[in-house]
């Protein structure tokens, strides 16, 4: 009787490691095809919007910037955005800020420059390129501050 009880209790033991369910490994969204495609689309839109802005065609440039905003948001919403994804989003915000400055909307422009400042201030690892983006954002903030003083 004792041996029967031991056998029954042994059968009710803690599941072994091999029988326990294994948690599914989370896929890195930045390695998925949509991520690279979205970066490509956003960078192309940024280039086109920049060209339109330089040609003085602000309305079509603004339309492209607004169209690019959801793409930028999607790129930076992942847990660890890539440098290219962050750069594409940053370029969109920088262009929008410059457009707002040209229209003397300094408060709104400053907000976009501040977003970029925060992005590049906290980016790891810091490089010469991230330092140049940080400097550009800091200079943009300064331009906005001067514009708001007048």
The C-alpha atoms of residue 44 and residue 39 are separated, in whole angstroms, by 9
11-32 average pLDDT score: 67
Q: How confident is the model at residue 135 (pLDDT cuts 50, 70, 90)?
A: very high
Q: How confident is the model at residue 42 (pLDDT cuts 50, 70, 90)?
A: very high
Q: pTM (2 decimals)?
A: 0.81
What are the boundaries of each domain within the chain? 30-149
121's CB contacts (< 8 A; 6+ apart) are 134
Q: Which residue blocks in 1-127 are alpha helix, DSSP H?
A: 2-11, 33-54, 58-76, 83-102, 106-121
Q: What angle do CA 8, 9, 12 make, to 5 degrees?
A: 95
Q: For the chain, first and last CA: distance in Å?
A: 95
* Confidence check: pLDDT of 110 > 70: yes
CATH code for residues 30-149: 1.25.40
For residue 147 the two structure tokens come to 């514009």
61-84 average pLDDT score: 97
Asked if residues 95 and 53 have their Cβ atoms less than 8 Å apart, the reply is yes
pLDDT at position 22, please? Answer: 57
């Amino acid at each position: 009787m004792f041996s029967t009880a031991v056998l029954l209790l042994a059968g009710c033991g803690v599941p072994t490691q091999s029988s326990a369910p294994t948690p599914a490994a989370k896929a890195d969204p930045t390695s998925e095809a949509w991520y690279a495609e979205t970066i490509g689309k956003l960078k192309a839109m940024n280039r086109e919007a920049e060209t339109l802005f330089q040609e003085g065609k602000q309305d079509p440039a603004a339309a492209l910037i607004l169209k690019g905003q959801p793409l930028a948001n999607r790129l930076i919403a992942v847990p660890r955005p890539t440098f290219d994804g962050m750069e594409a989003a940053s370029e969109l915000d920088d262009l929008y800020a410059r457009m707002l400055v040209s229209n003397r909307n300094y408060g709104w422009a400053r907000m976009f420059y501040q977003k970029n400042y925060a992005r590049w201030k906290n980016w790891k690892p810091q490089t010469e390129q991230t330092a140049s983006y940080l400097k550009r954002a800091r200079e943009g903030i300064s331009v906005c501050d001067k514009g708001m003083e007048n």
